[in-house]
Amino acid sequence: MRASITAVALCVALAAGQAAADPVIIRMANSVPANSHMNVRIFTPWCERVTAESGGTVEAKLFPANLIATSNNVWDRVLTGVVDIGYVSPSYVGGKFPKSRVTEVPFLVGRSAESSIAFWKMIEHGSLAPEFAEVKVLAAFVYPTSGLATPVTPIRKMEELKGKKIGVGSKMMGEWAQAMGAAPITMVYSETYDMMNRHTVDLVTAGWTGIQPLKLWEVAKGYTTVPLGSTNVVLAMNKQSYAKLPDQGKAAIDRNSGEKWTRELAVFWDQVADEGRKLVEEHNATIYDPSEAEKADWAKASEPVGEQWVKQTQDGGKALAEFRTERKKASAGM
């Protein structure tokens, strides 16, 4: 009898020890292909770093390509804990992040570096903090600006947009298309290739960062480099998921997030944009770079779109001024 009791106690102890040794799984989700540059060069290495630095107490796992969350539902899945960390594009969450749309204002964003730091600062201690109060924001970034891509020759004059069907990924870009006399067709990022390939649209708003993961060089033969605005992304973590982590796991997350990770992401995206343009050039597409005078004309024609956003958004003017101020500070610090 004693032997049996001892054996049972030993099994229980071993099982308890094994359970204690099992790492806590952190599920990170996004909607882009598994082999995309962001997954291969950014998110997979991040998961590996966090796992290693946690001393085996957590295991960060990446679930790409809509496996457990899509662009449209990832925010809700983070809030409910289905996903621990989500790659959230606020532009896909209708009505939830009105002031975060500031980066979509045409002719405001250029490259990612300064804009991403400005956006992070606004979340960390500025006017955007209330919009993300439900989650722990690990990092944030603004994509390098979007231009126009077509399956034929590039757009050279604004007048050529009239009557065209333009694939857009945000409400403000849709408003811009309408202001230009075009017909906006709403699309999500992953639909860009198919919509161009099937000629569902005449052109799309697209940045150089989308060339590699979407293989746009296969269907887009003309590009116009006008800074039409940009979308942003936050890496949002469920607060309860973070709170439940062992101390070593929390420390690993903290060391690899915040402004540090934001800067890393911004540098990465500017590099990807440069690579995207080079890839297009290698495939003999035609790129049209408008002159400064031409850009000024485009910017002037686009002003009503930004003005309308300011009018429709509570404290929109304040958010716009804050973004410009933070971006100037970021630029001076580089």
Query: What's residue 18's pLDDT?
Result: 40
Domain boundaries, the chain: 147-229+276-332
Whole-angstrom distance, CA of residue 59 vs CA of residue 27: 9
What value does the mean pLDDT take over residues 246-275?
Answer: 97
Q: Which of 6-20, 102-116, 126-140 has the lowest mean pLDDT?
A: 6-20
Residue 13 — pLDDT band, cuts 50, 70, 90?
very low
Query: What's residue 333's pLDDT?
Result: 84
Instruction: Assess contact for 118 and 105: CB atoms under 8 A.
Output: no
Residue 120 — pLDDT band, cuts 50, 70, 90?
very high
Query: What's residue 16's pLDDT?
Result: 41
Query: What's residue 27's pLDDT?
Result: 98
Whole-angstrom distance, CA of residue 259 vs CA of residue 95: 26
Q: To the nearest whole number, what is the mean pLDDT of the chain? A: 93
Query: What's residue 64's pLDDT?
Result: 97
Query: What's residue 190's pLDDT?
Result: 82
Q: Where are the alpha helices (DSSP H) in 246-333?
A: 247-255, 259-282, 292-312, 316-332
pLDDT tens-digit map of 202-240: 999 999 999 988 999 999 999 999 999 999 999 999 999
Residue 37 — pLDDT band, cuts 50, 70, 90?
confident
Which of 145, 146, 151 shows the shortest CA–CA distance to 201?
151
Query: What's residue 51's pLDDT?
Result: 98
Would you state the torsion angle of the CA atoms of residues 36, 37, 40, 45, taken in this order, to the nearest 10 degrees? -140
Number of H-type helices and E-type strands within the chain: 13, 11
Query: What's residue 20's pLDDT?
Result: 55
Is pLDDT at 184 greater than 70 in this prediction? yes
The two three-digit tokens of residue 4, written as one number: 């049996």
Specify the pTM. Answer: 0.90
Whole-angstrom distance, CA of residue 316 vs CA of residue 310: 4
Whole-angstrom distance, CA of residue 86 vs CA of residue 78: 6
Query: What's residue 15's pLDDT?
Result: 41
If one compares 189 and 129, the residue with the highest pLDDT of the two is 129
Our CA angle for 135, 137, 142, nearest 5°, is 130
Q: Specify the CATH number for 147-229+276-332; select among 3.40.50.720, 3.40.190.170, 3.30.70.100, 3.10.20.30.
A: 3.40.190.170
Is pLDDT at 1 greater than 50 in this prediction? no
- The strand pairing partners of 59, in sequence order, are 25
For residue 105, give Cα distances in angstroms to 2, 77, 146, 176, 250.
76, 28, 11, 9, 36
Query: What's residue 242's pLDDT?
Result: 98
Instruction: Assess contact for 136 and 254: CB atoms under 8 A.
Output: no
pLDDT tens-digit map of 45-100: 999 999 999 999 999 999 999 999 999 999 999 999 999 999 999 988 988 999 99
Query: What's residue 275's pLDDT?
Result: 96
Query: What's residue 139's pLDDT?
Result: 98
